[in-house]
Amino acid sequence: MNKVILLGRLTRDPEMKNTTTGKAVTRFSLAVDRRFKNKDGQKEADFINIVVWGKQAEFAAQYLTKGSQISLSGRLEARSYEAQDGQRRYITEVVADEINFVSSGQKSSNAGAGFQQTSAPQSANNNNMSVMGLDEDFHLMADDDDIPF
């Protein structure tokens, strides 16, 4: 069991790349407000690195922008890489497999983007709308290596 559930806002526009095998990867940082203020009465946030793969990566790149408020679920992944100084560096990020749109980060409505977010939350029938269509990158399931038993 390895589950992460977050609610927050993109700190910048997502960045999509393609792996050498042609698979899309989108990355962004999510600002997640802490429940409690710190000693100085300041509201703080945690900035969590998010990774999205495959078809969802394309949706994320297309529909999310800096300031978008989303909820997501995924799993924690720890990996290491060689830094420029030759040292091994360890980072942990969240691989999202489900992203839900909560509200736009844009003041002006995102015309043509697939969402019509209005300013009145209670009239918006697209709050909590799901941005993503799939619960993971399924075609991976085709080869045996992915069968977990």
Interface positions, 107-146, toward DNA (CB under 7 A): 121-125, 127-128
Count the Cβ atoms, other than its own, within 10 Å of residue 1: 3
Identity of the amino acid at 74: G
| CA separation for the pair 74, 93 (Å, rounded) | 10
With CB under 7 A as the contact rule, the residue among 55, 105, 110, 113 that binds DNA is 105
Is residue 9 involved in binding DNA (CB under 7 A)?
yes
User: Cβ–Cβ contacts within 10 Å for residue 125, how many?
Assistant: 9
Distance CA 78, CA 51 (A): 12
For residue 12, state whether it binds DNA (rule: CB under 7 A). Answer: yes
Which CB atom, from 2 or from 19, has the smaller least distance to a second copy?
Answer: 2
Partner touching 88 among DNA, a second copy, none, CB below 5 to 8 Å by kind: DNA
Contacted by 110, from DNA, a second copy, none: CB < 5 to 8 Å by type? none
Q: How far is CA 26 from the centre of its chain?
A: 8
Q: Give the N- to C-terminal CA distance of the chain in Å, as an integer.
A: 15
Residues contributing to the site for DNA (CB under 7 A):
8-12, 29, 31, 33, 43, 45, 47, 49, 66-67, 78, 80, 88, 90, 105, 121-125, 127-128
